[in-house]
Structures are given as structure tokens and as C-alpha cells.
Amino acid sequence: MKKKYIIVFENNEVLVSHILSKLDVNILLLYEKKSKFYIVNKILRLYLFLNFTYLIFFKGSTLVISAIANSQLISKLIKIFPFVNFISIQHYIFIEAEINNLKYLNQGKFYCFGRQQSKLIENRFKFQSNIEYIGSPIYSIYRRNNKKILNPKIKICYISQWTPSNLIKFERNQKSDYYLYSIRKIEVFLKKYLKKYNYNYVIALREREKGKEFSHFKSIFNEKNLKIRKDLFNTYKLIDNSEVIISWCSTCAAEAFADNKKVLFIPFKDNHSIVTKNNICLLKNINFEIFEKKLNYLLELSPQKFKNLTFKDQNLIISRKNIYIADKIIQSKISELIK
């Protein structure tokens, strides 16, 4: 039987290497290239459109998989090619600020983390019929292949949210962007806390090599505690082996929280960056004493007690029934669409 062709926008490592590679399909990758020049962008978009048309009519592709970052382009393609199946797979946590900045969102069938994420989209774009809750594909893959560590050896894991561009912005003007200023404030509090309590800790970096991010943290914390992101699942391994996770609003922290890991989310006064409204796991006050109190309380809580206090909120992010099977759900959905 001849293999079916699937068009994938952008090379998402989880989707391509860990989900689609297990299906008997041919993967056709497309990239939306952009330029700072308006005319060049128009030409690049036309080239992409022609390439897409070729793959539909001459390769027989009837399924397109995308991410929310391509929402404007995909929305247009859905109108032009109504006979093609379009699906979008959520691979990172959405915050209200990101959703509000989107002008378009028509991704066809949208496979979403859970009810809370879906409500953000519904409130912004006033549609809901094409949204289905499936959980997080990357976390499902990791969790199913790695047993939970019941007795973590590390007290605190702080998850970096510094990208190279954000670090450059912060270096130029430290208070010009409240989001960047907030992240830096968390690090100030954490350094003060660790000096007082001397707990063991790790800083989970985003980058896979020593660059601006590594240099930034080296100027604040001990170099031996800085952990380069060696592979796709490295951050999850650090989280697993830590008692409490501290994060502004990172995806892996939200995924871990949904699976009953103790997390302290710190958006401070930015109401558009809140992952959970559960007060045990949320710090909105720019105050070290409150930071200290909340962190100590989380460290003292047993996993069962934490679950009793937060389960409802965990389940809103990712339903408990989907924690281990999101990638399997996606494979099943795709198999049905390409029959």
C-alpha cells in the first residue's frame, strides 16, 4: 500500500521524531520564511503557497499539521483548501497575553492541553466546536518511559525563561519590560533565599550550549548548579528529581504541576501570565518574605497533601486521564484521518 503524505509546518522535534515517525507516512516539511522587507515577505509567502498547492494536488496530501504560531497563514489556507484536513497540536502552554496578541486563530481541528487552555481560546475567538482536550504529547512520552522519582535528591529547581533576545532587551534597559523585570526579580529572591537556607538546587537552562543565558546565571548562582539542556527531556529529568519547581510560567512547570509536582508560579502582578489561580502555587506580591513563606510551605507539604489542595486546578490544565497518552491519541487521530 502506498504511503500517505502529511504536510507539517515547521520541524517540531516531538511531533516528527516521536509521533509521526512511528506511523507509516511520508512527512513533507514546510517552513514559513520571513524577511524584514515587505516585498520579500510577499514573494516568500507566494513561493510557500505554490509549494503547498503542488503538495496538495500532485503529492495527494490531504492532512496538514501545524502549530499555533502559524495561525494567520493556516487560517488563510483553510479558506482556500476546504477539502483538506487541518489539525493543530498544542506543544507549549498558552498564557492570556499570548492569546490576546493573536489576530487570527482558525487551525481546523485543534488538539489542546486541557479545559483551562481551551477557555482562553474560546474567550478570545468565540469558537469551541473544533477544540479537543488531549494533554501534552511531550510530557506523555517522557512520563510513560520514566518512572516517577518518589524521593527527589534536589530541593529546588528553577526553570529559566531567558531567550537570547530577552537577555539583550534586559541588558539594554532592565525596567523597560515588566515581564523581563519580573523574571530577574525571581532570581534576586531565589539567591537571597538560598543564601539563608543553603538548600541544594539546580537551574534548568533553555539553551543547549554555553551562551548568554549561561553567562547570565553564572553571574548570580554557582556554576556547578547550572544545567545545560542536553536533550529534549533533560529539563523533565531535573524536575523529576526536585522537590519544588519555581517558574514564571514555563510549559514544563505547568505539565509537571498537572501531574502533581509542587510548583511555585511567580508572575507577580502580571495577571495575563497566570498559569493557575490556586493561591498555594501562585505568588503575585513582589515581596521576599511572602516568597520565603510560600516556598517553605511547599517544601513542607507531602505530595498527597499537595494533591488534595490542588487537584482540581491540576486537572484543568491537563486531565488526569490524558497525562500518559497524549501522543497515542494524536497517532490514533492521524491514522483515522489518512485512511
157 and 251 in a single domain? The answer is yes
- Would you say residue 199 lies in a domain? yes
Statement: residue 178 has pLDDT above 80: no
- Residue of 64, 113, 110 whose CA lies nearest to 257: 113
Q: How many residues in the chain?
A: 339
Distance CA 120, CA 112 (A): 11
Q: Give pLDDT tens digits for 256-278.
A: 999 999 999 999 888 888 899 99
Distance CA 328, CA 333 (A): 9
Work out how many domains the chain is built from and give that number: 2
173 and 308 in a single domain? The answer is yes
65 and 100 in a single domain? The answer is yes
Place 128 in a pLDDT band, splitting at 50, 70 and 90. low
Q: Give pLDDT tens digits for 65-107.
A: 987 766 778 888 888 999 999 998 988 888 887 787 777 676 6
110 and 70 in a single domain? The answer is yes
**What pTM was estimated for this model as a whole?**
0.91
20 and 132 in a single domain? The answer is yes
The CATH number covering residue 331 comes to 3.40.50
Distance CA 325, CA 77 (A): 30
Place 175 in a pLDDT band, splitting at 50, 70 and 90. low
- Would you say residue 273 lies in a domain? yes
Question: Do residues 211 and 219 make contact, with C-beta atoms less than 8 angstroms apart?
Answer: no
Question: Do residues 235 and 251 make contact, with C-beta atoms less than 8 angstroms apart?
Answer: no
The CATH number covering residue 218 comes to 3.40.50.2000
128 and 157 in a single domain? The answer is no
253 and 291 in a single domain? The answer is yes
- Residue of 310, 302, 283 whose CA lies nearest to 294: 283
174 and 228 in a single domain? The answer is yes
Domain that holds residue 117: 4-136+323-337
As given in the structure block, the three cell numbers for residue 43 are 514573494
- Would you say residue 122 lies in a domain? yes
Distance CA 68, CA 125 (A): 13
Residue 125 CB neighbour total at 10 angstroms: 14
| SS3 state of residue 321 | helix
174 and 222 in a single domain? The answer is yes
Distance CA 220, CA 190 (A): 10
226 and 208 in a single domain? The answer is yes
Distance CA 161, CA 248 (A): 8
- Would you say residue 241 lies in a domain? yes
15 and 101 in a single domain? The answer is yes
- Would you say residue 113 lies in a domain? yes
Q: Give pLDDT tens digits for 181-237.
A: 888 999 999 999 999 999 999 999 999 999 999 999 999 999 999 999 989 999 999
Distance CA 113, CA 250 (A): 14
- Would you say residue 44 lies in a domain? yes
